[in-house]
Amino acid sequence: MHCKVGDNHPALLDCCGGLNNVDYSKMDLTLLEAFLKHIHVYDSRLCIAVIAILFNPLFWNVVARWEHRTRRLSGLFGSPYLACCCLGFVIILLNIYRSHSMTVAMKAQARWEVMERTEVFYAGIGLMVFGTLLVVSSFLALGFTGTFLGDYFGILMDEKVTGFPFNITENPMYWGSTANYLGLALIVGVAVCIIIIIICHDLVHISSPYTEHQLLKEH
């Protein structure tokens, strides 16, 4: 079925043709072109930062699941608590390097004039404050072993964690980190923040099944 066409109007698209009838050559891609122009995709510093973002959750999820199946780390260190603390220390170092590499990559990117506004700068400050609040509060709620995959070492929570910030999101650590990176990108004024959001958003879905905070201690 076709839409009705008036005598004084251009022919309308086939109502049932979907996107096959769209003339993409007439789309206004000015904003997209401006966005891509300000991203140096092949910059080595950006590539290193992206690799660091992808590697970190892959590393600690693989190691934690391997420990859960074999208990090799607990046996090596003689205690599940010591093994968990050592893994946590390695994760902290990896996160420090990830943050450093992202900062270096952002500063190397071209600044986007659209983002060089006072309101954008203060929005970035607000996001970093909110992100830091999520990260710190979730750490205080879970403790060191709860934050750094203690459940895979057999170190389980005494009771379900339901207070802030887990009452507003199930993955406050990941969303807090995402907010921090986005805030930094807005402050620096680089368009690469969009790539950061996409990557971090995907990592939430990849990692969340293995980082649940609601495991309870067996009675």
AA letter at 7: D
Answer yes or no: is 148 a known binding residue.
Answer: no
Are 161 and 137 in contact by the 8 Å Cβ rule? The answer is: no
131 annotated to a ligand binding site: yes
How far apart are alpha carbons 29 and 12 in whole angstroms? 22
Question: How big is the CA angle at 95 (ends 89 and 98), to the nearest 5 degrees?
Answer: 145
Helices and strands, counts by H and E, the chain: 7, 0
Count of Cβ atoms closer than 10 Å to residue 91 Cβ: 19
Binding-site residue ranges: 129-131
Binding-site residue ranges for S-adenosyl-L-methionine: 129-131
